[in-house]
Structure formats: structure tokens, C-alpha cells
């Protein structure tokens, strides 16, 4: 994607937020954003919470969606990765932090973690929780 971007200036000052873009023939317009910036469009960080309960479903079923057997390591990995993803979405993002606070996300998360089988709460999962708590404590929530 190629753009010819030139800043629009007023009173001879560069306004970093105002740009004009001319699309060169044969290109398609698109907008790229980080998940952290757009997760609110689909309901916020709390849309990831059901993934934690899916870990328990994997524990009961013993199979993934494609029918392949899940190992204990894969089940543990899902829990850890969901917690890390939530932490990364909250890290230095005030909108996500506020949304998490408004929906009582930490209470819900705590409740859901109670349903995780104890053998899935390994050192990696506890490390991910510690990272989440550090993010929260540094945010001022």
C-alpha cells in the first residue's frame, strides 16, 4: 500500500494528527490497528473470559475442536495465554482498564479461575497472573 502523505499545517505549525493522503492507483485502502486499541469494538477485554471456561471444557472432553487429543501441556497453555493476553490488553490502555473496572472484570476473572482445575494452575499460569496483577497495580485501578 503506497500513500503520498503530506501534512496539513495551520499558522505554519505542523499538526501531527491532520494528514492528507492521496491513494496511488491500484492500491486498496485499509486501516491497521492493534488489538489493544480496538477490542472495545467487540465488547472489551471481557470477551476473552469465556476462553478460560473453555480450558475446563478441554479438560472434560479431552479433545480440541478438530478432534485431536489435547495434552495436559496444551490445556495449561490455554489458561496461561488467555491471562497474558488480558494483561497485554490492559497494559497502558486506560480505556480497556476502565472497561474492565466497569464490568467488574476482575471479580468475574477470579470467579472463572476458581473453575480451572488445580493441575492447570502451574508456575507459568501463576507467573501470568503475577504479570496481570503488576499491570493492574501500575495502572491505578
pLDDT in tens, 93-102: 898 999 999 9
Whether 45 is covered by a domain: the verdict is yes
Residue 100 domain boundaries: 35-139
Rounded-to-integer distance, Cα 91 and Cα 85, Å: 10
Please report the DSSP string for 83-104 in residue order. Answer: HHHHHHHHTT-HHHHHHHHHTT
Whether 19 is covered by a domain: the verdict is no
Q: Is 60 within 8 Å of 119 (Cβ atoms)? A: no
Whether 66 is covered by a domain: the verdict is yes
Query: By percentage, how much of the chain surpasses pLDDT 90?
Result: 23
- Split into its structural domains, the chain has a count of 1
Entry pTM: 0.66
Amino acid at each position: 500500500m503506497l500513500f503520498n502523505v503530506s501534512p496539513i499545517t495551520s499558522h505554519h505549525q505542523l499538526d501531527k494528527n491532520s494528514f492528507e493522503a492521496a491513494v496511488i492507483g491500484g492500491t486498496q485502502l485499509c486501516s491497521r490497528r492493534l488489538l489493544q486499541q480496538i477490542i472495545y469494538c467487540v465488547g472489551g477485554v471481557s470477551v476473552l473470559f469465556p476462553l478460560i471456561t473453555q480450558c475446563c471444557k478441554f479438560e472434560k472432553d479431552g479433545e480440541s475442536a478438530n478432534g485431536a487429543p489435547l495434552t495436559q501441556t496444551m490445556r495449561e497453555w490455554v489458561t496461561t495465554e488467555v491471562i497474558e493476553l488480558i494483561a497485554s490488553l490492559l497494559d497502558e490502555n486506560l480505556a480497556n482498564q476502565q472497561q474492565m473496572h466497569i464490568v467488574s472484570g476482575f471479580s468475574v476473572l477470579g470467579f472463572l479461575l476458581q473453575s480451572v482445575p488445580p493441575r492447570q494452575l502451574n508456575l507459568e499460569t501463576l507467573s501470568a497472573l503475577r504479570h496481570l496483577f503488576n499491570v493492574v497495580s501500575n495502572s491505578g485501578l
